[in-house]
Structure 1
Amino acid sequence: MNIILVLVDSLNKEALKIYNSDTVCRTPNLDAFADKSLVFDNHFISSLPCMPARREIFAGRKEFMWRPWGPLEVFDPKLPREVQKQGYNTGMVTDHYHYWEETANGYMQGFMTLEMIRGHETDYHQLPHDGDVPKWVEKMSEYRSPYHMRQYWENVKDFGGEEDYFPAKTFTAASNWLRKNAGRGPFFLQVESFDVHEPFHVPAPYDTMYTDDLKGDAGDYNIWPPYQVYADLDAFMAQTTPDELAYLKAQYYGKTTMVDKWFGHLLDTIGDLDLWDDTMVIFTTDHGHDLGERGAFGKQYPHYDSHANIPMVVWHPGRKGEGGRSAALTQTVDLFSTVIDASGGTPPDETRHSVSLMPLISKGEAPHADITYGTFGQGVCITDGEWTLFKSPVDGHDLFSYSTMIARPLLVDNPVDGRVGSAPAQPVDQAQFDPSVPYPMWKMPIQVDPRTYENFLFHRGQDPDQRDNLWDSHPSERDRMVALLLQRLQEEGCPPEQLERLGLNAANIAAE
């Protein structure tokens, strides 16, 4: 059986009719694909953001308790190489530029073929020049680096119609890969569209598709609001307007519809090549993206369902014509074991946190009773499907990163010691801190500014928007979920000081 994994970055369930019947955003190709496939209602993130999520996909290991965004570790298995052991040809087509940054080495090198679509976001693709930039680029530069905003402009300024934009290039390249290679034996193709990631910059007709009668010129609105630096986010929210927020969402919807069109091009190719009867297709994302809800943007902690409960749709030829929906809890890290299992292989012994979803897809067997997820240096989340708890850090505790390498980390959440480019701190120790890792690891002090010290408890059925914090009013459920979180973190493995930092030692739990 062939396998195609399609990853569309930053895609919200709220924008998709298969999850939200009230949305105005149109995705006819995904709708048609979902009608014949298995739709997952409770698929969740694990480690955030972009590259931590991809380490889970490539290596089957949650990292949010151990380290921030970084390269694959020397002990990590590589998903494409595990699939190749079953005699598969493997290929990747992606415009996700983080893969070729220094801070994310090692992920894509395992594929037999690789096609990189250059120029998205701040990819150093075209040389920047002095001179004027359009008003919309100036608007983005109010809260983000003008140098980086100019870099994006240099990358895209010569684009004409939508065929020049990244979804068209990415899905067309994936279709071409299939036409060239699908007849050469079983294959695993990973297709990654960095869109619908910001900046929410789209061509006609998508730029006005959802604007209705909004007033003002497009250049009056910021299509890339700040969110990593807290003060910048607060400043933006203090001066933004309802029209600007509505315009931002309209551009996000426009980009979603554009991605859907070109995803449809890939689906057409699968049909043209008569691949549906022997090809499994997984469509999902790495995380959602809040668009001003609760005064926030992006995918930062606290990880509300608005960006943590993410889309996934799976076509399996063994379920032909069945369609249906699954309410079982699943998460990103499970993709690693699922793809290997689907190829006929067995996940390697090093697999720490990934569970194959093939028994769920074929027999309806739920893989998890509850799941944990989070971002390094922030709080930790757990849900059992009915209740969701966010356990935030306790002020005044040290934080350490653990790795076999001393690498330049990418800190994406208001680091106290500077932004990207900061030199790593001096290690304070080296030992085999993780018993599942066959090598000693460096223990390095690191500072990340927590977004909140407040704890949260929500009932997902009665409060799907997670507005009513029940932490104080429902102590029995709170204590049950806190104890469950402690049990899961001990089972999954974490540095012992993380339990102190999160207030999860026995004394703190008893006091609360």
Structure 2
Amino acid sequence: MLAGEHPSPLAGGQLNAQPGIVLCMTSPSRTADRAPNIVLITTDQHHWKAMGTRTPILQTPHLDRLAAEGVTVDRAYCPNPLCTPSRASILTGQYPSSHGAWTLGTKLDESATTVAGLLSAAGYRTSLIGKAHLQPLASVPGQTSIETPEHFRDWDLWRSFHGPFYGFDHIEITRNHADEQWVGAHYALWMQEQGLTDWPRYFRNTDGSGGRLHRWDLPAEYHYTRWTGDRTLAMIDDAVTTERPFFTWASFHDPHPPYLVPEPYASMYDPADCEPGELVPGELDQMHPWFAETQKDDPDFSRWFETPYATHGFNRQVIDKDTMRQHLAIYYGMISFIDDQVGRILDSLDQRGLTDNTLVVFTTDHGHFLGAHGLTAKGPFHYEDLIRIPFLARFPPQIPAGSATESITSLIDLAPTFLAAAGQPTPGAMQGVDQLRAWSGGAPARDHAVVENRFQPSRVHIRSYVDDRYKITIYRGDDHVEVFDLQQDPDELHNLAKDPAHADLIAHLSHRFLDAELQREASNQVRISHA
């Protein structure tokens, strides 16, 4: 434990305790002799095509290197296209409907069993650097949060608190995207320590005013992307010093909007060379009514609201193409900035002789709309742009270099896969599956993915089932259905559910969907007797 670490001041206890789980414990020294290190690198709101291997204009040489030295998982999906639910699923191996953090503004319970806590109990040094977003921006009785504005500039708190936190032995976090006013915590202290004593002037006022667009005057060496890279390297060094295997999550905040990045990344891409997606005339006529509402001058989403909290995407989304090109150029610059830090992490593993014994996974929490279907950012719109995610994995002892697989993977599979790689059992309550054999060229570990999305408890509540060819999406309390043939119609322009000729297909997919719902039930209990 590093100096100053102590239990969370809000949780009232050790956040890495794993209630109800019985494990075969291994001593740290014996684990270190055989267990691989695990490095999870994530971005935030990253379109699945936004890598140099898929979009040649993008300069991502280090992600390209990771793909060349490992596997590209072509069909990876998030379990929910929102930050908190998806990130909680990464840690718990469960769907949001099971772990309870079902949308933004909810919280993952501190007592949750997490892969970080299980690995820590098995002798791993566990750390999280960057974005957490496992708790909301406000506290209420019975649902406290450390990720709130009043806490984020409590300097005494952040100087002394580094964990444990959801099973991580050590954390360093902040909450903001770009120049948002939620900046603070460990990142702000780091800026101060680096000599940027006037750091508040680069960020918005506490009321949210004073925002910037595209070119940020904050020097790149003080940016949170650089901070996440720096502190991830420090965590690797710390684990090496203690001679323990490590699980480190490098959680980058970008390329999540606002579209803002420092030089040289702000000028790296010419907007004229960036091609955003477009709305095809008439395509939204086949979709749920709230899709078309996004294209109106004065949209009305009131019929779908039942709480005072906003639903992402429920706004007018018409943006002229020149503006979209400018946004896209900055979005790409943000990715290239992250790519440079990925390169530093990979180089660090090489220099320390750790590459051959380290499983590295790169992915994101969910996708992003870049103009396709007339949409931008995120919302209750289950096109592939939003629910499909970039995914790379490298593990030299098992994963063939330069390989690719279309074996379907979900983010809920990360926890079971990491535990299996570490030689640890998977708790029965986890709903994901071990993917390491599939990533290594073996048989698929799953034949479908399920994606949940619940903004409002009953009125904005949708769910999708995706298999090797088709996707079906249903809407709670509504007879609207969407079915796409992803092989014949990869751009998702023709909703087959509107064609009576496909009634048999819809019935077949509905049965498969229901079967998938039955399959994903999990339990902490193992039956040991007839009564």
TM-score exceeds 0.5? yes
- 2:120 — aligned with what? 84
- Confirm or deny: 8 A CA contact 1:360 1:366 kept in the other structure: yes
- 1:256 — aligned with what? 335
- 2:25 — aligned with what? none
- Cα distance in 1 between the residues matched to 2:419 and 2:181: 31
In the TM superposition, 1:15-414 aligns within 5 A as 15-18=50-53, 20=54, 22-64=55-97, 67-69=102-104, 70-73=106-109, 76-96=112-132, 101-102=137-138, 105=145, 108-117=165-174, 119-120=176-177, 122=180, 124-125=182-183, 147-150=207-210, 160-183=218-241, 184-212=243-271, 234-237=315-318, 240-319=319-398, 322-351=401-430, 353-362=431-440, 364-376=442-454, 377-395=460-478
Identity, % of aligned positions: 23
- Confirm or deny: 8 A CA contact 2:84 2:133 kept in the other structure: no
Determine helix, strand or coil for the equivalent of 1:483: helix
Determine helix, strand or coil for the equivalent of 2:491: coil
Cα–Cα, structure 1 residues 335 and 269, in superposed 2: closer, same or farther, change >3 Å?
Answer: same
- 1:425 — aligned with what? none
- Cα distance in 2 between the residues matched to 1:123 and 1:99: 17
Q: CA deviation at 1:123?
A: 5.2
- Confirm or deny: 8 A CA contact 1:302 1:379 kept in the other structure: no
Deviation sequence 1:401-459 (CA, Å, 0-9, x none): xxxxxxxxxxxxxxxxxxxxxxxxxxxxxxxxxxxxxxxxxxxxxxxxxxxx7421111
- 2:486 — aligned with what? 460
Determine helix, strand or coil for the equivalent of 2:389: coil
- Cα distance in 2 between the residues matched to 1:231 and 1:301: 8
- 2:20 — aligned with what? none
- Cα distance in 2 between the residues matched to 1:469 and 1:213: 32
Q: Which 4+ residue blocks in structure 1 deviate beyond 6 angstroms?
A: none
Cα–Cα, structure 1 residues 34 and 232, in superposed 2: closer, same or farther, change >3 Å?
Answer: closer
Determine helix, strand or coil for the equivalent of 1:378: strand
- 1:492 — aligned with what? 520
- Cα distance in 2 between the residues matched to 1:68 and 1:79: 21
Determine helix, strand or coil for the equivalent of 1:195: coil
> After the TM superposition, which of the residue ranges 171-180 and 24-33 deviates more from structure 2?
171-180
RMSD (CA atoms): 3.3
> Under a length normalisation based on structure 1, what TM-score does the superposition of the two structures give?
0.72
- Confirm or deny: 8 A CA contact 2:360 2:393 kept in the other structure: yes
In the TM superposition, 1:445-456 aligns within 5 A as 454-456=480-482
Determine helix, strand or coil for the equivalent of 1:90: strand
- Confirm or deny: 8 A CA contact 2:317 2:375 kept in the other structure: no
Cα–Cα, structure 1 residues 230 and 176, in superposed 2: closer, same or farther, change >3 Å?
Answer: closer
- Confirm or deny: 8 A CA contact 2:399 2:441 kept in the other structure: no
Cα–Cα, structure 1 residues 232 and 297, in superposed 2: closer, same or farther, change >3 Å?
Answer: closer
- Cα distance in 2 between the residues matched to 1:246 and 1:385: 32
> After the TM superposition, which of the residue ranges 295-304 and 194-203 deviates more from structure 2?
295-304
Q: CA deviation at 1:382?
A: 0.5
- Cα distance in 2 between the residues matched to 1:73 and 1:126: 23
**1:171 is matched by which residue type in structure 2?**
G
Q: CA deviation at 1:380?
A: 0.8
Cα–Cα, structure 1 residues 322 and 470, in superposed 2: closer, same or farther, change >3 Å?
Answer: same
**1:388 is matched by which residue type in structure 2?**
K
- 2:498 — aligned with what? 472
Unaligned ranges ≥5, structure 2 = 1-35, 147-163, 186-200, 274-298, 302-308, 455-459, 523-531
- Cα distance in 2 between the residues matched to 1:118 and 1:456: 35
Determine helix, strand or coil for the equivalent of 1:339: helix
Q: CA deviation at 1:330?
A: 0.9
Deviation sequence 1:280-310 (CA, Å, 0-9, x none): 1111111111122212222322211112111
Unaligned ranges ≥5, structure 1 = 128-132, 138-144, 215-225, 396-452, 495-512
Cα–Cα, structure 1 residues 172 and 275, in superposed 2: closer, same or farther, change >3 Å?
Answer: same
Q: How many pairs does the alignment contain?
A: 406
- 2:190 — aligned with what? none
**2:506 is matched by which residue type in structure 1?**
R
Deviation sequence 1:108-134 (CA, Å, 0-9, x none): 34211112246545453469xxxxx99
Cα–Cα, structure 1 residues 205 and 276, in superposed 2: closer, same or farther, change >3 Å?
Answer: same
- Cα distance in 1 between the residues matched to 2:428 and 2:328: 44
